[in-house]
C-alpha cells in the first residue's frame, strides 16, 4: 500500500491497565479510503485498539497518527473521527435530528450549515421520515442508521465502528452489512471496523487484522488470510465450519517431504513451504470445502473412510468421518451427500492445505 | 384425557371427551382460602399496628381538653375542634416565646431549601465525575467519602462547633446549611455515582467524540436522563433535613431553631396543664411536610431507588 497515502497509523502502541498489558507494541497502517476490519475473539484487544485510535482511552506508550497528524494527545473530537457504537449510544432524550446535530451544536456551527449537513446525512441513510422521533420510537436497524448518521454529519476523514451490528438480529445484520459496504463505496472514507463475526470481516474488509492477546497475528486481504493463515490460531478462527487439523509428523523421505499420521502418509510435493522445515511434530490443516469426496482420481493423496455423521446445512452438507483416527469434516453440495455408514473416498491436495509446526506457526 | 381419545379426535371422529365438560379457561380461585386469610390477616394486623398511633394523634388533636381528661384515648372526638391546631401553629408557648410552630416552620424552610439544593448540586457532579471520569485516585476518594458516612455524628459534633466558630458561622442558618450539605454528601454521592454508572458508557463516549466536555456532557446528556434519581435525592434530603433535631439544636440559636426543636420545646414546656391536643397537633403539623413529599412522589421514589440499585 505504498502508493496510496496513509490515513491512520498506529506506531508501537501499548496499553496497560495496571500490570495487565492489553495491547503490546502494536503497529498498524491503514491506507486512505481503506476498509480495515479488526477481527478477534472477545478480550483480544480489538475494541481497546479502536478506543485508543478514537482517543477514548489514554495509551501507555506509542503514537497515533491520523492524516499524517500526530493526534496521540488530542481529544476525541479533534481527531477527525466519527464513531459508531454497538449499543447505538443515541441520546435518549433528544430527537433524531438533535442527536445528529449535537456534535455540530457543541462545535458552534451556524444553523444553516447544520441543517444542510443533516439533510445530506438523512438522505444518504434514508432516515428523513424519522428526524422528529425520539430514539425509543425507532427499531434497532433505524437506531444504528441514526448512529451512523451522527458520524456522517461531522464530515470526518475516518469512521470507527465498534461492533455496530452485534445487537441486531441475523437478517437485519446482513442487510445493514450490505448498506455499510455501499456507504463505504459512496463516501470512500477510511473505515476501521471492529467485529468478532468472521462473516462480517470477510465480506466487508479490504484488509483484515486478526488479533489475539493484544497482538495483531496477521494483517492482509481476506482471501490471503483465509487461504494462507500465518498460524494455527488464524486458521482456526476463520472459516465456518472450521478447518480440519490432523496431528502428525513432518517426515523427510527419499521422494521428498511427507506428512505422516496414524496409518496415513501424505506426499507434500505440491505444498508451498514458507520455510525449509526440519522433520518434527506438525499439524496438517485443510478446509472442509477443499477436500474431495468420491471425486475420482488425480488427487495427490486419497483414502477411504466410513461416514459417521451427516450434517445438512441447506445448500451444503457437512460430512464427518475419521481420517488417521481423527475427526475430519468434508463439505459437499447437498445433492452429492452420502448417507451415514457409507464408505467414501477422500481426496486431498496439499496445495490447498496449511501445515503448522508444534507451536502453531505456518510451515 | 387419554391417548386414544386424542387419537380418535385427530382421526376426525367427534370425541365427547374432547368436547363439552372438563376444566376450561382460568383455574378458579376460592376467595376465602387458608392462604388468603393468612396473607390478608397479617397485612391487616401490621397495618393497624402502624396506623393506631397516628389515629390516636389525629383524634386527640381534634378534642378539647375536658374530653381528653376523660381518658378515652381511642374514642373519636365528640365535639370536633380545630382550636388546638391553630394554637399549635401560632400561639403555643416554648420556654422563651409564645408564637407557636410558625417561627420554627419558616426556619426549617430556610434551612431545608438551600441545604437540599446545595447538597444535591454538589453530590450529583461528584457522582458524575466518579462514575464517568475515572481520574487518578478516584477509588481512594470514593472510599474516603463512603467511610465518612459511617463515622458516628457524636464524634464530629464538637469539632464542627469549633470549625463553625472559627469561620464565624456558628449559630447561623448558613452554618447549619453548610453542615447539612456536608453530611448529605457521602450517601448522595454514592446514590448519584451508582446511577450514572448504570448509564451505558458508550453514551458518554459518543458525547466525547461529539466534542462535549465535562460540563457539556453533564448538562446535555446526563442531567436530562436523571430525573428519577434527582427525585430520590430530593426526597431523602427533604425528609432527612426536615426531621433533623441534633444539628439544629447544636448549631443554631433559639430564635433560629428548626421546627423539630421548636416542637420539642413546645411539648416539653411545663407551664401548668399539659395540653395533649396542642402537642399532638404540633407534632402532626411538623410531620406534614415529609408526609406530603412521600405521598406526592412515592411512585417516582420507588422507580428511582430501583434504577440506582442496579449497579454498585
Q: Is residue B242 part of a domain?
A: yes
**Whole-number Å distance between alpha carbons of B115 and B193:** 20
In chain B, the residue whose alpha carbon lies closest to the alpha carbon of A101 is: B210
Q: Is residue B298 part of a domain?
A: yes
CA angle in degrees (0–180, nearest 5) for B8-B11-B14: 60
Check which CATH number belongs to the domain holding B159 and give it. 1.10.3720.10
Which of A51, A87, A106 is facing B210, going by the closest CB pair? A106
Distance from CA of A100 to the nearest CA of B (A): 10
Check A102 against B220: CB less than 8 A apart.
yes
* DSSP state string for A204-249: H-SEEEEEETTEEEEEE-HHHHHHS-SBHHHHHHSSSSPPEEEEEE
3-state secondary structure of B210: coil
A107 φ/ψ sector (left φ>0, alpha ψ -120 to 50, else beta) = alpha
Cβ partners under 8 Å of residue B268, min gap 6: none
Give the number of domains in chain B.
Answer: 2
Query: CB A7: neighbour CB atoms within 10 A?
Result: 23
In chain A, the residue whose alpha carbon lies closest to the alpha carbon of B135 is: A58
Out of B31, B52, B81, pick the residue that ends a domain.
Answer: B81
Check A81 against B224: CB less than 8 A apart.
no
Q: Which of A339, A332, A334 is nearest to A292 (CA)?
A: A332
Q: Answer whether A116's CB lies under 8 Å from B237's CB.
A: no
In chain A, the residue whose alpha carbon lies closest to the alpha carbon of B216 is: A106
Whether the CB of B165 is below 8 Å from some CB of chain A: the reply is no
Check A91 against B221: CB less than 8 A apart.
yes
Are B266 and B185 part of one and the same domain?
yes
Q: Which of A39, A37, A42, A71 is nearest to A56 (CA)?
A: A71
Contacts 24+ apart (CB under 8 A), B53-59: B57/B280, B57/B283, B57/B284, B58/B280, B58/B284
Cα distances (angstroms) measured from residue B209 to each of A60, A61, A79, A118: 20, 22, 9, 17
Q: Answer whether B106's CB lies under 8 Å from B259's CB.
A: no
Distance from CA of B22 to the nearest CA of A (A): 43
Are B211 and B291 part of one and the same domain?
yes
- pLDDT value, residue A47: 93
- pLDDT value, residue B136: 83
Whether the CB of A54 is below 8 Å from some CB of chain B: the reply is yes
**Whole-number Å distance between alpha carbons of B166 and B169:** 8
| Helix, strand counts (H, E) of chain A | 8, 20
Residues 146-205 of A with CB under 8 A from B: 147, 150, 154, 162
**Whole-number Å distance between alpha carbons of A189 and A207:** 15
Q: Is residue B97 part of a domain?
A: no
A235-267: pLDDT as tens digits: 999 988 899 999 999 998 888 889 999 888 999
Cβ partners under 8 Å of residue A294, min gap 6: A336, A338, A344, A345
In chain A, the residue whose alpha carbon lies closest to the alpha carbon of B207 is: A103
Are B151 and B284 part of one and the same domain?
yes
Distance from CA of B247 to the nearest CA of A (A): 40
Whether the CB of B224 is below 8 Å from some CB of chain A: the reply is yes
Check A103 against B202: CB less than 8 A apart.
no
pLDDT in tens, chain B (312 residues): 444 444 444 445 455 556 667 788 888 877 788 888 999 999 999 999 999 999 999 999 998 888 888 888 888 888 888 888 998 888 887 777 788 888 889 999 999 999 999 999 999 999 999 999 888 888 898 888 888 878 888 888 999 999 999 999 998 999 999 999 999 999 999 999 999 998 989 999 999 999 999 999 999 999 988 888 898 899 899 999 999 999 999 999 888 899 999 899 888 876 667 888 889 999 999 998 888 888 888 777 777 666 554 433
C-alpha cell of A133? 422521533
Are B122 and B47 part of one and the same domain?
no
C-alpha cell of A237? 478462527
Out of B22, B48, B81, pick the residue that ends a domain.
Answer: B81
Look up the domain containing B71 and give its range.
3-81
CA angle in degrees (0–180, nearest 5) for A323-A326-A329: 65
Question: Quick one: how far is CA B204 from the chain centroid?
Answer: 31
Are B11 and B128 part of one and the same domain?
no
Q: Which of B210, B214, B220 to mutate to test the interface with A (most CBs of A within 10 A)?
A: B210
Task: Find chain A residues with C-beta within 8 A of B216's C-beta.
Answer: 106
Are B113 and B55 part of one and the same domain?
no
Are B60 and B179 part of one and the same domain?
no
Whether the CB of B232 is below 8 Å from some CB of chain A: the reply is no
Query: What's the complex ipTM?
Result: 0.85
Which of B206, B212, B221 is facing A83, going by the closest CB pair? B206
Are B77 and B114 part of one and the same domain?
no
Whether the CB of A58 is below 8 Å from some CB of chain B: the reply is no
Are B76 and B136 part of one and the same domain?
no
Q: Is residue B90 part of a domain?
A: no
Q: Which residues of chain A have pLDDT under 50?
A: 1-2
Task: Find chain B residues with C-beta within 8 A of A147's C-beta.
Answer: 206
Q: Is residue B23 part of a domain?
A: yes
Q: Is residue B207 part of a domain?
A: yes
Q: Answer whether B266's CB lies under 8 Å from B282's CB.
A: yes
Q: Answer whether B173's CB lies under 8 Å from B256's CB.
A: yes
**Whole-number Å distance between alpha carbons of B96 and B265:** 9
Query: What are the strands of the beta sheet with A61-66, ordered from one edge?
Result: A20-31, A6-17, A61-66, A69-70
DSSP A278: P
Are B16 and B114 part of one and the same domain?
no
Whether the CB of A107 is below 8 Å from some CB of chain B: the reply is yes
Whether the CB of A87 is below 8 Å from some CB of chain B: the reply is yes
Q: Is residue B138 part of a domain?
A: yes
In chain A, the residue whose alpha carbon lies closest to the alpha carbon of B206 is: A89
C-alpha cell of B280? 399532638
Task: Find chain A residues with C-beta within 8 A of B209's C-beta.
Answer: 54, 56, 76-77, 81-83, 103
- pLDDT value, residue B9: 45
Q: What average pLDDT does the structure give for chain A?
A: 91
Q: Is residue B96 part of a domain?
A: no
Give pTM, 2 decimals: 0.81
- pLDDT value, residue B78: 86
Are B70 and B113 part of one and the same domain?
no
Whether the CB of B221 is below 8 Å from some CB of chain A: the reply is yes
Are B107 and B76 part of one and the same domain?
no
Amino acid at each position: 500500500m505504498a502508493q496510496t497515502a496513509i490515513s491512520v497509523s498506529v506506531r508501537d502502541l501499548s496499553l496497560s491497565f495496571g500490570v495487565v498489558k492489553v495491547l503490546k507494541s502494536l503497529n498498524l497502517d491503514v491506507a486512505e479510503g481503506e476498509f480495515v476490519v479488526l477481527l478477534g475473539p472477545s478480550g483480544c484487544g480489538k475494541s481497546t485498539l479502536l478506543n485508543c485510535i478514537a482517543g477514548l482511552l489514554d495509551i501507555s506508550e506509542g503514537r497515533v497518527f491520523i492524516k499524517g497528524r500526530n493526534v496521540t494527545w488530542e481529544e476525541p473530537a479533534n481527531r477527525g473521527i466519527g464513531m459508531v457504537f454497538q449499543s447505538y449510544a443515541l441520546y435518549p432524550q433528544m430527537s433524531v435530528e438533535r442527536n445528529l446535530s449535537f456534535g455540530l451544536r457543541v462545535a458552534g456551527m451556524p444553523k444553516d450549515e447544520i441543517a444542510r449537513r443533516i439533510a445530506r446525512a438523512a438522505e444518504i441513510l434514508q432516515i428523513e421520515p424519522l428526524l422528529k422521533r425520539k430514539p425509543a420510537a425507532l427499531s434497532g436497524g433505524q437506531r444504528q442508521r441514526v448512529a451512523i448518521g451522527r458520524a456522517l454529519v461531522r464530515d470526518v476523514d475516518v469512521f470507527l465502528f465498534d461492533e455496530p451490528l452485534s445487537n441486531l438480529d441475523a437478517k437485519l445484520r446482513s442487510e445493514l452489512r450490505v448498506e455499510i459496504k455501499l456507504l463505504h463505496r459512496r463516501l470512500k472514507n477510511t473505515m476501521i471496523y471492529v467485529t468478532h463475526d468472521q462473516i462480517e470481516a470477510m465480506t466487508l474488509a479490504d484488509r483484515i487484522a486478526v488479533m489475539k492477546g493484544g497482538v495483531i497475528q496477521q494483517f492482509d486481504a481476506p482471501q490471503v488470510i483465509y487461504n494462507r493463515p500465518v498460524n494455527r490460531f488464524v486458521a482456526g478462527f476463520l472459516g465456518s465450519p472450521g478447518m480440519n487439523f490432523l496431528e502428525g509428523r513432518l517426515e523427510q523421505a527419499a521422494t521428498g517431504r511427507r506428512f505422516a499420521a496414524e496409518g496415513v502418509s501424505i506426499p507434500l510435493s505440491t505444498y508451498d513451504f514458507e520455510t525449509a522445515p526440519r522433520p518434527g511434530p506438525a499439524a496438517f490443516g485443510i478446509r472442509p470445502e477443499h477436500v474431495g469426496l468420491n471425486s475420482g482420481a488425480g488427487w495427490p493423496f486419497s483414502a477411504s473412510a466410513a461416514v459417521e455423521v451427516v450434517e445438512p446445512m441447506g445448500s451444503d452438507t457437512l460430512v464427518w468421518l475419521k481420517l488417521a483416527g481423527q475427526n475430519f469434516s468434508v463439505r459437499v453440495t447437498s445433492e452429492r451427500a452420502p448417507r451415514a455408514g457409507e464408505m467414501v473416498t477422500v481426496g486431498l491436495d496439499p496445495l490447498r492445505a496449511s501445515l503448522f509446526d508444534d507451536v502453531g506457526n505456518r510451515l | 384425557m387419554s391417548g386414544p381419545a386424542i387419537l380418535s379426535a385427530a382421526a376426525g371422529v367427534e370425541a365427547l371427551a374432547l368436547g363439552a365438560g372438563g376444566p376450561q379457561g382460568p383455574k378458579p380461585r376460592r376467595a376465602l382460602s387458608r392462604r388468603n386469610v393468612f396473607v390478608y390477616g397479617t397485612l391487616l394486623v401490621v397495618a393497624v399496628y402502624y396506623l393506631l398511633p397516628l389515629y390516636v394523634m389525629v383524634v386527640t388533636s381534634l378534642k378539647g381538653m375536658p374530653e381528653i381528661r376523660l381518658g378515652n384515648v381511642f374514642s373519636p372526638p365528640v365535639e370536633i375542634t380545630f382550636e388546638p391546631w391553630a394554637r399549635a401553629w401560632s400561639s403555643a408557648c416554648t420556654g422563651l416565646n409564645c408564637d407557636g410552630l410558625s417561627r420554627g416552620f419558616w426556619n426549617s424552610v430556610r434551612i431545608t431549601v438551600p441545604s437540599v439544593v446545595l447538597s444535591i448540586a454538589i453530590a450529583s457532579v461528584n457522582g458524575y465525575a466518579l462514575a464517568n471520569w475515572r481520574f487518578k485516585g478516584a477509588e481512594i476518594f470514593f472510599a474516603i467519602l463512603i467511610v465518612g458516612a459511617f463515622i458516628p455524628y457524636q464524634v464530629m459534633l464538637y469539632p464542627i462547633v469549633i470549625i463553625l466558630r472559627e469561620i464565624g458561622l456558628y449559630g447561623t442558618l448558613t452554618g447549619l446549611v453548610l453542615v447539612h450539605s456536608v453530611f448529605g454528601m457521602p450517601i448522595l454521592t454514592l446514590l448519584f455515582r451508582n446511577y450514572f454508572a448504570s448509564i451505558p458508557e458508550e453514551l458518554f463516549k459518543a458525547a466525547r467524540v461529539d466534542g462535549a466536555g465535562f460540563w457539556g456532557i453533564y448538562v446535555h446528556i446526563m442531567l436530562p436522563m436523571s430525573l428519577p434519581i434527582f427525585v430520590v435525592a430530593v426526597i431523602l434530603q427533604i425528609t432527612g433535613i426536615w426531621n433533623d433535631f441534633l444539628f439544629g439544636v447544636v448549631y443554631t440559636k433559639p430564635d433560629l431553631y428548626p421546627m423539630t426543636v421548636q416542637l420539642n420545646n413546645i411539648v416539653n414546656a411545663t407551664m401548668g396543664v399539659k395540653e395533649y391536643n396542642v402537642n399532638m397537633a404540633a407534632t402532626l403539623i411538623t410531620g406534614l411536610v415529609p408526609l406530603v413529599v412521600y405521598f406526592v412522589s412515592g411512585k417516582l421514589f420507588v422507580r428511582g431507588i430501583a434504577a440506582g440499585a442496579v449497579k454498585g
